Amino acid sequence: CARMFTVYFPFRSQIGINVTQIRLPKQCTEDQVIEELLKLNDDQRVHGVYLHLPPAFLTSRVLNTLKPEKDVEGISDVNVGRLIRGDFSRGFVPPVANAVLDMLVKDDGPVEGKNVLLVGGKRPLQLILQCLIEKSGMATLRSNRNRNHLQRQNVVRSCSRWLQDQHYRPWRLHPLKLQPLTPVPSDLEISRAQVAKPVDQLATEIGLLPEELESYGRNKAKVRLSLLDRLHSQPDGKYVLVAGITPTPLGEGKSTVTVGLVQALSAHLKLNSFACLRQPSQGPTFGVKGGAAGGGYAQVIPMEEFNLHLTGDIHAITAANNLVAAAIDARILHEATQSDKALFKRLVPSVNGVRKFSPIQISRLRRLGINKTDPESLTSQEISNFVRLDLDPKKITWQRVVDTNDRFLRKITIGQASTEKGQIRETGFDIAVASEIMAILALADSLEDMKNRLARMVVGTSHSGLPVTAEDLGVSGALAVLMKDAIKPTLMQTLEGTPVFVHAGPFANIAHGNSSVLADKLALKLVGRDGFVVTEAGFGADIGMEKFFNIKCRASGLRPNVVVLVATVRALKMHGGGPHVSRHGSANLSLVAGGCQSNLKKQIQIAQQFGVPVVVALNVFKTDTQAEIDLVCQIARECGAFDALPCNHWAQGGRGSVALAQAVKQAASKPSNFQFLYHSEMPIVEKIRTIAQRVYGADDIDLSLEAQTKIDYYNQQGYGSLPICMAKTHLSLSHMPDKKGAPTGFVLPIRDVRASVGAGFIYPLVGTMSTMPGLPTRPCFYDIDLDPATEEITGLF
Amino acid sequence: CARMFTVYFPFRSQIGINVTQIRLPKQCTEDQVIEELLKLNDDQRVHGVYLHLPPAFLTSRVLNTLKPEKDVEGISDVNVGRLIRGDFSRGFVPPVANAVLDMLVKDDGPVEGKNVLLVGGKRPLQLILQCLIEKSGMATLRSNRNRNHLQRQNVVRSCSRWLQDQHYRPWRLHPLKLQPLTPVPSDLEISRAQVAKPVDQLATEIGLLPEELESYGRNKAKVRLSLLDRLHSQPDGKYVLVAGITPTPLGEGKSTVTVGLVQALSAHLKLNSFACLRQPSQGPTFGVKGGAAGGGYAQVIPMEEFNLHLTGDIHAITAANNLVAAAIDARILHEATQSDKALFKRLVPSVNGVRKFSPIQISRLRRLGINKTDPESLTSQEISNFVRLDLDPKKITWQRVVDTNDRFLRKITIGQASTEKGQIRETGFDIAVASEIMAILALADSLEDMKNRLARMVVGTSHSGLPVTAEDLGVSGALAVLMKDAIKPTLMQTLEGTPVFVHAGPFANIAHGNSSVLADKLALKLVGRDGFVVTEAGFGADIGMEKFFNIKCRASGLRPNVVVLVATVRALKMHGGGPHVSRHGSANLSLVAGGCQSNLKKQIQIAQQFGVPVVVALNVFKTDTQAEIDLVCQIARECGAFDALPCNHWAQGGRGSVALAQAVKQAASKPSNFQFLYHSEMPIVEKIRTIAQRVYGADDIDLSLEAQTKIDYYNQQGYGSLPICMAKTHLSLSHMPDKKGAPTGFVLPIRDVRASVGAGFIYPLVGTMSTMPGLPTRPCFYDIDLDPATEEITGLF
């Protein structure tokens, strides 16, 4: 085989294998093939071989030459005949590709860098390669796939490039210049005055590969999770949480501190850094609050895109959530109007005379304790158990959602059309971000984990008291399909051109209020050992930070290095006894000191209970006096903060937060002694009590009868080891919004307890939580407009 | 100024101007500047000059040198001082850019190819250029913006490239090879076996510029409307409509014929061609029907992406529709609980002591006949008229929507929470594609047109009988913002790698059921004079085609060249007296002949009334006999079809539709005598009667009292000249689904009449139309799943 030559199609797969193709010339002899196979048998660089040869070579001699451990799962001999007949697009290619992947995964040794050789004809092997590429989640083949005959030297070059690509790439970030103006213009004016870098340029600068990026227009892109595999051996960067003291109703600027801090770290201290932010609900954008992209010279741009559809994740959640709801009510109707036999006939239909369970139905049978797979073998009792979810309409906990502030949907009656045959019931809509699916998106650490969580979601209880899950409804596979793109974090940038992930935005009371685990994980790999990931927790530290530690870190396995605690003179005055809502107070050192000694001190102590150093960031307003600023920083240090600094990112961008960035860098170099506040195996009541006493400062808790009954039920159902997600007001450390400072001597009432089994937490209700905002008399949309000639948006803020 | 040099930043704006920058060296004299300006005055290639010079040069001599007609709207002298102070990011740049654009637009001559020179310092001019680029809707500057010092020769090259870019580019399409298998595999298997071209490659092949494309991942991209400006002088291609005979409930394959036809035209006859398809609702994907990407070897790929979120257009419609709904009910509540004075105080709030109407409120005042702009000057009666929409809760026609088959939302009661203070009312949800906003998306021919239509939408009637619009609610600007990306058509491809636009998918009964005007317009420019655009109408020709001609073509101004009428032997047998739902009938020539002589003949005649030649496409099933096929084609020709041909795209891809493609090409070369069926100024009743008699074959119409009352009301409100959109069953030419063939001797009952004022049509109801499908006992979602390792979807069809 003097003319035998090798064509390489090197590519990166999710599990990091190399696939190489060897082509045999047409005029080859059997002996030459065997000789080639013997070489492959002995070649330690070759971990698997897939044979595709003309029929003449498929002799037992040839087939038996290849060592079994190198044979790709017996596919060679079994299917090769079909392949020869050109039958390779009939669902045949995926099994081959699967077998290749399976073989590598099953093997004990490390997977990365393994080589599989595909030997044989060009067209089928190309198809298999393409399929492998698709399966491994890659966008494109790295080598030039349009050329049919690659020169060996090109190939060698592309191979070595490919090997380099496997490794971490140092950043070559080109920050955007800022020239802040005084007075500070509106957020939208600032956002629009800066021209964002094309997102693919930003991606290249921070070491992403083209095939890891899915652009959505020019300014935003989803990042593929395959990045985690590529960089799995790369050490994580430092993990910084931004939390806040108990805020005024106006908010104290955690988002702007987060953005300002990464601008300072990346653009000014030249340290790789990433901000991880929550995606805001679109409801408030058109209601009262406006957007959530940061503000002033610490913003994510373009802020319009951040605040509107983004890459459609919340829309996907809405679609998935409402598919579950539709499935629930349709199922109740069908069960109410059909016999067991009719239901069974329809649920397990006869296709060409054969009834077969779908995989999702087999899962339900397993949970019912029925270990059968042949539909004909079920007893009539088993059939009844299988077909009847027997949902109690009064005990359905699943609500529908819209991403609109639509208060009239808070409580509604559905099913009133005659077609629904009187199956009416009361229910309601929540805002989309309150969906359990949003909490799952934020906590999942892989596609598989998300799919499993979606399947476990409990939507209600049967008349006999059994939980009914999304999988019981047969809908969980479809949910995973609807959510498959939403699970990829969205890359955007700050005003200074530094990278930001926007991903997930669960409610901060009935859920945990933190951005996604996956965005943090991707960012920690991308920044590298000496880099920083700054992520934000919702509400005050008593809620957002506590849930970040006890729920999010428990789910992710990540350990934080620093807490940045955001305070404002305005909020501190309130805690010191000043008015509760005041935009511009006059200087008052004693109120400020009072606030520091109460709320700030307590919030610092909460962080310290978790063993993480605290840097206090005083978000400076132009009305603050130097004496006030100095006082806050001084007391904060006395109360145990590692450091405390004023920051001026709003007026100055990253330059205004350089001192904060330096303090964070120093704090992160200290060893962190992170520990959870409670073990997950502690009884539910004890977990609630621990949080109430050690975080909120309560004397004890007071469980209602309803709460106690629910806890007993959850224990009985095996949910007892889930962590706790308190649904408490964020306006006080206690349950009483009016009690500012650091209240003591109170007993925390637990009105009710609920569970998000898929997301994986129990949430006790301390008071009433609204899960659907309303529109005021004059919503912000009165000012929002679009210039059709320029496509320019006005009125967003 | 020997060292004076020129830097060009050529770029394409929406209005096709060139902007060029001339830099003056620092050591320039006043005389040299004047000399330069005099040259510009006389240079006929220069259409406008914007001066930005150091203060020393801002003498009246210099300022007066420039001819007034070349001065960019007096900006030079007024603002140059501010610019010098580096103040150019404070909202200053956009006015300059606006002035540049304004000057060119206002001028009488043709705008395209005009040159503006910006003379002066680098940084401010760069900012202005960037702003112009943003305003003109461009993604990137064509020349290399990162190099600060461009070589003149590079620049000249990029200029001439830019000039070439202005023109139509011939296609260099590389079709994908198909190797169809027998038997034909499942749709998903076929889709997955083909590897789609990257969408940016497809875009380049069909002459799109990179900045006209907004990719959404690898397989789909939105195309910017600026394309229409760039190619406005390019002649349109041929416009082909695919319609069908009255179908069986299973559908007769219009989508597959459409896709097969463009595969044949592009990949086999090498003629530029584009398919324009509707985006399917996600509801049926998880319900009964499955997807709508075509089928067999005539599909849009990847079919999963086609059938799921696509680029989020339907989600945007849902968000916009439900924002209107939330605004309606919130407004009713606020009006019910507040005095005129309180409402006015909130609707026109005092900001820094000044009350001001927003533009959208001024519009409402105008409609009320109040020509005042100072809020303080309104009388108390005017205030009352202004603040009270006074919506009659019983006469609200606006429904909420979800893109889910959720039958329990068909009729609901809302507002039952105590926070809504007893303002309960009955309403319902429709499937998202039934929203009037979807019909608007499909009919709008620009962003401005869409915005105006959104503002005109009537959501209900006041107690005094006045229509209340989206603009009255103050929400229409926000709707345009929500819809600003949805208006751009989405580019995908067929199995053979030929281009497809997917855009809009309005309901085919209460709306007009056709894909978007804009997709058709963009495609007609892209294919060029000798190319073909094949677009599809919903339902049978009596509905889809009639609405295509009378509504869509009236809105777009486009004129069709050919109608392709899809028939199947199965449906013809039904019309000839055979069973209504039969997948596999035995050969029966007399039933086939009966169907041809009745329904097929009638549908051909309908198309001919509009003056457009008809080619009958017989969608061949494997059970059809050659005798049946020959018979259909023979009778079709006898009934006046230009030609009639069997097509085998399902089994063979484009190759199976080559004969059809050739016939369409021939038919398109005939002159078309297109005419509307009625003038828009004809009275509403006459328009309805004309359709009933001339299209459906009815003897007359029978108006209910309710219908007559509504017609009187619409006439009184000035909606009398809107076209008619009949809401009739598609299963018969008559209103009785069981009457097959070509029924005669019936009177068409008009139960009620409604109006979509924003979309721009009146829709008479012939019978009851369901606008919300339900889920069956075993919805398709039972089979839909995602493999988390490979991200592969199973169970879609």
- Chain B residues within 8 A of A218 when measuring between CB atoms: 139-140, 214
Q: A500-537: per-residue pLDDT in tens?
A: 999 999 998 889 999 999 999 999 999 999 999 999 99
B720: confidence class by pLDDT, cuts 50, 70, 90: very high
Does residue A760 form part of some domain? yes
Q: In this structure, what CATH number is given to the domain that contains residue B739? A: 3.10.410.10
Backbone angles phi, psi at B790, to 5 degrees: -105, -10
Does residue A1 form part of some domain? no
In chain B, which residue's Cα lies nearest the Cα of A223?
A: B217
The span from the CA of A768 to the CA of A771, in Å, is 9
What is the structure's pLDDT at A487? 98
B169: confidence class by pLDDT, cuts 50, 70, 90: confident
- Chain A residues within 8 A of B186 when measuring between CB atoms: 91
Domain boundary among B643, B669, B695: B669
**Contact (CB<8Å) B407/A334:** no
Cα A528 to Cα A163, A315, B80: the distances in Å are 19, 33, 47
Does residue B143 form part of some domain? yes
Q: In this structure, what CATH number is given to the domain that contains residue B401? A: 3.30.1510.10
Does residue A24 form part of some domain? no
In chain A, which residue's Cα lies nearest the Cα of B185?
A: A90
* Alpha carbon of B711: minimum distance to chain A alpha carbons (Å): 27
Q: B409-454: per-residue pLDDT in tens?
A: 999 999 999 999 999 999 999 999 999 999 999 999 999 999 999 9
Joined together, the tokens standing for residue B523 give: 């495609």
Say how far residue A382 (Cα) sits from the centre of its chain. Answer: 39
A291: confidence class by pLDDT, cuts 50, 70, 90: low
* Alpha carbon of A301: minimum distance to chain B alpha carbons (Å): 14
Q: A35-82: per-residue pLDDT in tens?
A: 877 877 776 656 666 665 666 666 777 777 777 666 654 444 333 333
Residue by residue, DSSP assigns A409-435 as: GSSEEE--SGGGTT--EEE-EEEGGGS
Over chain A, what is the mean pLDDT? Answer: 84
Q: Are residues B130 and B223 in the same domain?
A: no
Handedness of CA A76, A81, A86, A88 (dihedral sign): negative
Q: Are A470 and A476 in contact (CB under 8 A)?
A: yes
Q: Are residues B579 and B544 in the same domain?
A: yes
Joined together, the tokens standing for residue A625 give: 């006096």
Domain boundary among B459, B483, B507: B483
A275: confidence class by pLDDT, cuts 50, 70, 90: very high
Q: Are residues B593 and B656 in the same domain?
A: yes
Q: Are residues A635 and A500 in the same domain?
A: yes
What amino acid is encoded at B280 in this protein? P
Domain boundary among B615, B637, B669: B669
Catalytic residue among B286, B539, B642, B761: B539
CA dihedral A135, A137, A139, A145 (to 10 degrees): -40
Q: Are residues A252 and A380 in the same domain?
A: no
ipTM score:
0.82
- Is pLDDT at A23 greater than 90 in this prediction? no
**Contact (CB<8Å) B343/A140:** no
**Contact (CB<8Å) A781/B474:** yes
Q: Are residues A371 and A395 in the same domain?
A: yes
Does residue A604 form part of some domain? yes
- Is pLDDT at A129 greater than 50 in this prediction? yes
Does residue A329 form part of some domain? yes
Is this model's pTM higher than 0.90 or not?
no
Residue (of B256, B19, B244, B261) closest to B141 by Cα position? B19
For the beta carbon of residue B5, count every other beta carbon within 10 angstroms: 14
Burial B27-50 (b: 16+ CB within 10 A, else e): ebeeebbbebbeebeeeeebbbbb
What is the structure's pLDDT at A698? 97
Cα B719 to Cα A281, A696, B384, B463, B686: the distances in Å are 38, 63, 27, 20, 14
**Contact (CB<8Å) B778/A474:** yes
- Is pLDDT at A19 greater than 60 in this prediction? no
Q: Are residues A523 and A393 in the same domain?
A: no
Q: In this structure, what CATH number is given to the domain that contains residue B639? A: 3.40.50.300
* Average pLDDT of the residues in B129-156: 38
CA dihedral B682, B685, B686, B687 (to 10 degrees): 70
Q: Are B93 and B63 in contact (CB under 8 A)?
A: no
For an interface test with B, give the residue of A408, A451, A485 to mutate (most B CBs within 10 A).
Answer: A408
The span from the CA of A171 to the CA of A205, in Å, is 6
Q: Are residues A450 and A513 in the same domain?
A: no
Catalytic residue among B9, B650, B746, B761: B650
What is the structure's pLDDT at A70? 65
Place of tokens 């919300």: B772
**Residue B386: active-site member:** no
Does residue A359 form part of some domain? yes
Q: Are residues B599 and B537 in the same domain?
A: yes
The span from the CA of B124 to the CA of B52, in Å, is 8
Q: Are residues B691 and B664 in the same domain?
A: no
Q: Are B451 and B434 in contact (CB under 8 A)?
A: no
What is the structure's pLDDT at A770? 87
- Chain A residues within 8 A of B316 when measuring between CB atoms: 309
Q: Are residues A193 and A327 in the same domain?
A: no
Domain containing residue A101 = 30-166
B200: confidence class by pLDDT, cuts 50, 70, 90: very high
What is the structure's pLDDT at A293? 81
* Alpha carbon of A607: minimum distance to chain B alpha carbons (Å): 37
Catalytic residue among B5, B162, B621, B676: B621
Q: A684-694: per-residue pLDDT in tens?
A: 999 999 999 99
Overall number of domains in chain A: 4
Q: B84-115: per-residue pLDDT in tens?
A: 333 334 344 555 566 655 554 444 444 444 44
What is the structure's pLDDT at B165? 57
Over chain B, what is the mean pLDDT? Answer: 84
Q: Are residues B511 and B459 in the same domain?
A: no
The span from the CA of B424 to the CA of B415, in Å, is 5
Does residue B10 form part of some domain? no
* Average pLDDT of the residues in B255-269: 96
- Chain A residues within 8 A of B181 when measuring between CB atoms: 87, 89-90
Question: What one-character DSSP code corresponds to residue B14?
Answer: T
Joined together, the tokens standing for residue A218 give: 């020019």
- Is pLDDT at A145 greater than 60 in this prediction? no
For an interface test with A, give the residue of B131, B214, B318, B790 to mutate (most A CBs within 10 A).
Answer: B790
